[in-house]
Amino acid sequence: MKKLEKNNEIKDLYEEGIEIYEDKAKTTGLFFLYLMITSVVLIIGFIRDTQTPSISILILIISVIEILFFGFCIVFIFTKLLKKEPV
């Protein structure tokens, strides 16, 4: 009998809807992590070995791709920080 009551309670909660909010501390931590990674990639991309041009160009190409990717991540996480909606 108790199991049936518990199932009904869960069913009622499901029908009402459960709101889950993101943890702002974890999202802020991700934001600063992406910011730090982007900064390191910028430094590596601009301070590269100019003695070997083929490796230098490869590092530059990889740096540009990483900057674009992590830059997008920074913008995405920043917009999630501003929203106060449930997930």
Task: For residue 17, give the DSSP letter.
Answer: -
Task: Name the residue with higher pLDDT: 4 or 64.
Answer: 64
The whole-number average pLDDT for the span 49-77 is 84
**Please, are residues 56 and 48 in contact by the beta-carbon 8 Å criterion?**
yes
pLDDT tens, 22-43? 888 998 999 999 999 999 888 8
**Its pTM surpasses 0.75:** no
